[in-house]
Structure 1
Amino acid sequence: MIIGAIESASDGVITGWMHCRSSILTGQTVLAYLDGVCVGSGEIGTFRQDLCDAGLADGKLGFSFPISLPQQNDARRVVVSLQNCEAFLLQPGARVVDSSAPAQPDTYVCGRLPGSDRLRWMRNVAAFEAKDYELMRTLIEFGAANEVIDSEQPEDRLRKVFELAALGPVGIGHVDIPAEANLATYMSDHRPAGHSGLFALVGDRRTTVSVQETPEAMPGTRADAPVVGGIEYMFGPNMALILRRWTPFSATRLNAGKVRCYFPTYPEDLVASAEVAAAQAETTSERRAFS
């Protein structure tokens, strides 16, 4: 599970931090993207006392590197990714904060599915039930999958799906999509649902969409990109359509009824950790001011 934040993206430099509980990211390459185009790269490794104090590894989780942008106003739309990883750090609400502020893990990303080899290993050691293994395998190979849900409590099963993808605990959020909206365009244009690693669509009526199945959608591809050789998938009150980020699909929303999009969010323990980190950083600053 990867957490982190973009803290500043201005004056041609982007700064922030990134941490993974199960892997050492120090020395790993991070890439900055604008509309799917790489505009800069750097390395994780800057020491951050606030992160160290919060118990996040040894604190060497920061990054800062130059970015090249067509216009300075484009800085608010830059995202950062770990190299060879589908998970991205975003700037929630197009908000850029001062890099001197205490670290806050504003963005939770549940986007990198376990690789095929790791998935098979987890299946062999019974870490996955058979149905869960098949669901993850389908998402890895095709970028989309259907899943049976309880129409009264869809969150129960969908949270489990997001946790399987994240290999750790997650919270769950949702947005109701306006009836007049084009579904795919709405998912590309709106945060946080359209920018989560996975999201799930549920409706009060049976709705069919055309999905371009792909094992490796290009980072930055819009969900409403042209669909080539689309395969029909459906969702409804008892069936969710789970889509991986950047998997193109097409749906006009005609006669679609009410559509709700579910997506992963911070689990409560991460929110608490962020609050503790901020409080510790503030206390440390006050002590230094009086020393």
Structure 2
Amino acid sequence: MRKALSLVAAMTMAMVALNVPAASAATSVTFQPQTVLGPGVPKDGTSDQNVVALGEVTFDTTATQTAQLVSVMRVNDVTIRSLFDNEIVCKWAGGSKNVVLGQNVYQRGSGKPQFEDLTLTTSQLVHPGVATRVTCTAFIRTASLGWDDSTLRLVSGSLKAVVFAGKAIQASTPPGLYKVDAANPVVRQPLLPLSDVPADTQSLDVVADAEYMICHTTGQCDKTKTSKASFTLIVNQWKADGTLCQSDTSTSVVLDTPYWVHHVVVPLKKSGLVVRKDCAPRFNAYVLVKWLGGETGAVQGVATGLTDSRRSEAKHNSDMSSVHVIPNRLS
């Protein structure tokens, strides 16, 4: 399990260095290290999350441009096991686009160091479809998983925007939990339907994040156990007649997730997939999730009803499990 989690961490960090067109404009901000409060579980049965803005970027797009946003956060030194979410909220006149990924982080000295020091990367594409100014903010969302307040240390992080020509090619898993167990061992989420890339595309970078949850789709759960599953990013190119041209299945990982981690981010990335010129510039992609044993698992869809700030009445939705494509084109 430790080997698999090390692979996930390495892939997470690799996502920061996507291959984008040389003519792209970029802007970024680095987060200041700080201690963040995780409010304790309210005893009245309600919920409480701290929502802290860490930094923002602002950029202009034309009607034909798309921006890729990448937020990286590393946390550790947690006093009580806590929720840790990395969220990007983007807004422009008349529109918005949000994405969030998260995992429970263990308290220091838990004996499980791989769950005590976490780096999470959240990314998405933003395509307003009009000439406009876009502002994107990175938020850390935290909550103690005990009655008492917790604290965690934001060690480092950054938010980066890269603007390039073309429409957004992406998809997110709809709201809900997409269960995998002995009776239903396979699910294909997140799922990008057939999509055409520009004709001069030389290669693709495909980024997929599956948010995997243990239990919570069934009334029975052994909290001393784990949920084991494999995750494979499948990218297909198609011929003009609708037959398969090529299929890449080289990006894969197996994770065994303890109940107390609750939900785990599974980052998968295929860089530099060559576009075959003897076929159509048409692709689809998805994460093939296979249940291998243990407790019931599920892929999480869009997070609904997130508070804009702590105790805010205003709420919003954010994508969770998602996949997107960056076409690498001729300069």
Classify the TM-score, shorter chain.
0.3 to 0.5
Higher strand share: 2
TM-score of the superposed pair, with normalisation by structure 2: 0.29
Structure number with higher relative contact order (C-alpha < 8 Å, ≥ 6 residues apart):
2
Higher helix share: 1
